[in-house]
Structure 1
């Protein structure tokens, strides 16, 4: 995936073919970069699992195999100058898209199994353990939100009633795919875009564990963060806030509203989520126990051990 990311980036610059309003190599570039992060995160999480490690190995292998199948099809369609997703123009296009749908479902199932193994594992630091568990759970929800894109739009259903259609499913809501979009991400600027909650949800897998690492590093200077209970409460607060944001961008996309043009209801809900998150952070930090110099030295040593581990 790393090599494919580099190759796709080169393709974006040297291949001027356009598919649905964007350069044809944009999709393999975004997919390979995302799969790189996803694969590295799952591999690291599996290394921390303490239960059914052989089962976890097989689940990780299934994830890797399905990622390869997915990307092979995407590259084949790029070589043919065709859409890889939602494409039913020919029998071959339909078959390839159906195979992709099956591999994504298998990938999701294997990832759920890995998440279950993490929930059952005994990890030494509770904050780290719950960051991994909740990050994996939110990521699975984000991945599942991708299936919303496979549902036929109202226009496609009306066309299907009259005969066979070339396209089933879409990224955009309320507007056709391929319209004005944000740079780099390609997300619609005129309608809702279901890729946004899919993207935001899946990357909880990286962001919540990174939060724990940041808390451990900051704990060397901030005594309150040296308490495991405080770090755990901050992780739970962050996970709840993040999950609420995933729900918000999903709601926004389903209403056909662009991410960069929120209405009053979206902004008011966002303000409520951020306020609740800030209150949770304040409450978590206030709950820190009083520490003495000896206690602080001990907890600092424990923090260093956790960082080494």
Structure 2
């Protein structure tokens, strides 16, 4: 008999609701950008709160999907739920306030308010979020679930933590363009210390192929979506009758992990994305194809599920 999935009342509902609010916030800022005009790229753009709202609503809904499948204690649910909520809502609110004020949200220490929002707000909520992710990782590793589900959730959290570490490097250098060293931006005050346009290069709605150094924004963006990329597919597969659920989950984890490794190795060599050589591009293309293959297996298993069927993996299952 399949084990009954542990129930986590409260926080999943809160996170579903918070995600809906952030989804609306994303749409509002996209519409405002279209109607009001203004830059799509650069440090001051309504695209930035839209982007953070997108990350926030997907994160909230991903955690709301994962939590009911794990065996958690009350304090663990509170820590995970509260830190995700603080990060998703807090970061989006801070970025939105600065965007509507017409000032940069990142690396901006021009006034005491700007410094407080940067250090206590953006960096502070990110640090709190890391605590929640560590707790979620421990929960995933200790929960009596199948190897496939454990690997998917643990892999997703691991990718998120890598994304957070990359974000901390960006904060410590006041730049998403890596030009060597860590920590050079600590203690800065009284001005905007972000990279100049020449360092960033052409900004194509957040994609910057020709930076004067290594681009950390892309691996950071992939990292913070780790739960959506890996944990959510594993949870969806856990509710199907597919016999071998470990293989597609493992291939997706390997694909995302290898792609992140290639991008980070390239960035920390201080090379722009348009300097990726043919072997690196081939590896990234193979990672993308492999990951999409895992998603295709997940989709087929979901489509083959009978109405009302909701299997739950147990410790010895795939």
TM-score bracket relative to the smaller structure: 0.7 to 0.9
List aligned pairs for 1:205-220, cutoff 5 A: 205-209=227-231, 211-212=233-234
Matched, 1:242 2:256: yes
Q: TM-score, normalised by structure 1?
A: 0.73
CA displacement 1:219-271 (0-9 Å, x = unmatched): 87xxxxx433xx31442233123211111111222334333541246346658
Pairing 1:190–2:210 present: yes
Q: Give 4+ residue runs of structure 1 displaced > 6 Å after superposition.
A: 153-157, 213-217
In structure 2, what is the Cα distance between the partners aligned to 1:35 and 1:93?
22
SS at match of 2:209: coil
List aligned pairs for 1:151-300, cutoff 5 A: 151-152=172-173, 166-168=191-193, 170=195, 175-177=198-200, 179-182=201-204, 184=205, 186-191=206-211, 192-209=214-231, 211-212=233-234, 226-228=242-244, 231-264=245-278, 266-267=280-281, 270=284
RMSD: 3.9
User: CA 1:202/1:155 → structure 2, altered by over 3 Å: closer, same or farther?
Assistant: closer
User: Which runs of 5 or more structure 1 residues have no equivalent in the other structure?
Assistant: 221-225, 282-301
Q: C-alpha distance in 1, partners of 2:277/2:234?
A: 33
The CA deviation string for residues 118-149 of structure 1, in whole angstroms up to 9 with x for no partner, is 221112x4322321221222222222211121
207-216 or 42-51, which deviates more: 207-216
TM value normalised by structure 2:
0.71
If asked which structure has higher relative contact order (CA below 8 Å, sep 6+), I would say 2
Q: Work out the number of aligned pairs and report it.
A: 273
Residue-by-residue CA offset, 1:97-126 (whole Å, 9 max, x unaligned): 111211111112112212221221112x43
Structure with more of its chain in helix, by fraction: 1
Match of 2:310 in 1: 308
**Alignment match, 1:80:** 101
